[in-house]
Amino acid sequence: MSGNSFGQRFRITTAGESHGQGNLVIVDGCPPGLELQLDDLRQDLARRRPGQSRLTTQRKEADEPEILSGVFEGKTTGTPIAILIRNQDQRSKDYSQIKDVFRPGHADFTYWSKYGLRDYRGGGRSSARETVARVAAGAIARKFLDSKGIHVLGWVDRVGDIQAQITDSNLVTLESVESNPVRCPDPVAAEKMAELIDQVRREKNSIGGRCTLVVQHIPAGLGEPVFDRLKADLAKAIMSIPAVTAFEIGSGVEAGSMRGTEHNDPFRLENGQVVTTSNHHGGMLGGISSGMPLVIRATIKPTSSLAQEQLTVNQHGEETTIITKGRHDPCLLPRFVPVGEAMVLVCLADHYLRWMERHHNPD
């Protein structure tokens, strides 16, 4: 137990369930003096909010945050910042029929095995609803990293077998990502993805995909070998999100097919700075940032909740079938983007502070 905190210096602790009073996060370690408004939080929360388009779940949540502590006269004070987002559209009745049944691909069985009881209302804490607290924390991390010139941007690069064509990932903008409901900056691919998602929805099925996350203007030196390598902590950050099945940096799984001469990125000088001529290493060497952009990829499985009959077992040890009726995203990818960004932001804010410790230390 007690696995609900992430980070060491910029440390977040979350609580809350899908159908309880709400979800909340305490951010401990945010530096003082940072301007923080509700609007800073609302912006990222809106990108994660359900019901944005027909491609996402129709559950309606205002997701209005309340800042309970840590901000005084519009600025962070250095004390813990608590954010509460109350649940609104809970409709517990939607879930009463699955009270005793383990939904395939869901955490119903494992929570019941672990805790001996479970909050069956919409998955309780195993629901992706808990990520709303992560996004609120990420918005605070974003404010901090913005002040250091570091920017994090994610997008959908694959849905099923449809792969976006991105010539230069360093040129992708937030505007191009947000220009369509899929959050794919390649407009041609985005349209095909939207069609595919709509099709699987009509077929009462779901589809997986992949998200790319890029970090620009990160200084060299972040990451703490040997275990708290930057890639290791980013992996934990991303793999802690529901439904993620793979994590890659730089060339990722393709590195397994490459030769050293292909994969090694030669160093060269650019305006007196050491850079690499390519970025197969994804911005990290030896677990420490190299100054090149970080490139991370997360694969997300198809939504487990399906509006068609599936074989399963119930709590009484009987085989049975289930049709999940609730309101679900046929593809998790579009709403994953702000969640993936949030975890990268939190992880980087943490490592930035760890790096500060050292960087300004010797006189």
Site residues (CB under 8 A) for its own copies, limited to 179-218: 200, 205-210
Is the Cα dihedral 296, 298, 194, 182 positive or negative?
A: negative
Q: Which of 122, 302, 338, 340 binds its own copies (CB under 8 A)?
A: 302
Does 61 bind its own copies (CB under 8 A)? Our answer is no
Q: 304 to 323, contacts with its own copies by CB under 8 A? A: 304-306, 308, 310-313, 317, 319
Least distance in angstroms from the C-beta of 175 to its own copies = 25
Query: Quick one: which of 182, 235, 342, 344 contacts its own copies (CB under 8 A)?
Result: 235
Question: Any idea which residue has 């198809």 for tokens?
Answer: 302
User: In terms of Cα–Cα distance, which of 240, 20, 22, 5 is closest to 119?
Assistant: 20
Whichever of 23 and 90 has its CB closer to its own copies, that residue is 23
CB nearer its own copies, residue 116 or residue 167: 116
Of residues 137-156, those binding its own copies (CB under 8 A): 147
CB 131 within 8 A of CB 48: yes
Task: Report the nearest approach of its own copies to the CB of residue 61 (Å).
Answer: 16
Does residue 248 bind its own copies (CB under 8 A)? yes
68 binds its own copies (CB under 8 A): yes
d(CA 261, CA 21): 56
From the list 47-55, 172-180, 187-195, 238-246, the region that binds its own copies by CB under 8 A is 238-246
Q: Which of 49, 125, 143, 192 binds its own copies (CB under 8 A)?
A: 125
Is residue 65 involved in binding its own copies (CB under 8 A)?
no
- Report the distance separating Cα 4 and Cα 220, nearest Å: 30
85 near its own copies, rule: CB under 8 A = no
Q: Is residue 271 close enough to count as binding its own copies by CB under 8 A?
A: no
For the bound state, the minimum distance from the C-beta of residue 124 to its own copies, rounded and expressed in Å, comes to: 7
> Which is closer to its own copies, CB of 3 or CB of 171?
3
Contact call for residues 324 and 334 (beta carbons, < 8 A): no
Place of tokens 């309880």: 20
Binding mask 95-124 for its own copies (x = CB under 8 A): -------x-xxxx-xxx-xxxxxxx-x--x
CB of 315 to its own copies, least distance (A): 10
What residue type is 104 in one-letter code?
P
C-alpha to C-alpha distance for 54 and 301, rounded to whole angstroms: 20
Of the residues 40, 44, 61, 130, which one makes contact with its own copies according to CB under 8 A = 130
Indicate the residue among 2 and 171 with the shorter CB distance to its own copies. Answer: 2
Question: Is 220 a binder of its own copies (CB under 8 A)?
Answer: yes
- Confirm or reject binding of residue 26 to its own copies (CB under 8 A): yes
| One-letter amino acid of 63 | D
Contacting residues for 72 by C-beta, under 8 A, at least 6 apart: none
| H helix or E strand, kind and range, residue 175 | helix 174-178
Token digits for 192?
Answer: 């095909």
Closest CA to 78 of 112, 34, 38: 34
Q: Which residue from 250, 292, 299, 346 is spatially nearest to 44, judged by alpha carbons?
A: 346
Nearer to its own copies, 124 or 175 (CB): 124
Distances (CA, A) of 292 to 155, 177, 251, 287, 340: 19, 22, 14, 13, 20
Pick the closer one to its own copies by CB: 42 or 236.
Answer: 236
- Are 332 and 303 a contacting pair, CB within 8 Å? yes
Is there binding between residue 74 and its own copies (CB under 8 A)? no
Cβ proximity to its own copies, 16 vs 334, nearer residue: 16
Count other C-beta atoms under 10 Å from residue 38's C-beta: 14
Closest CA to 343 of 1, 14, 105: 14
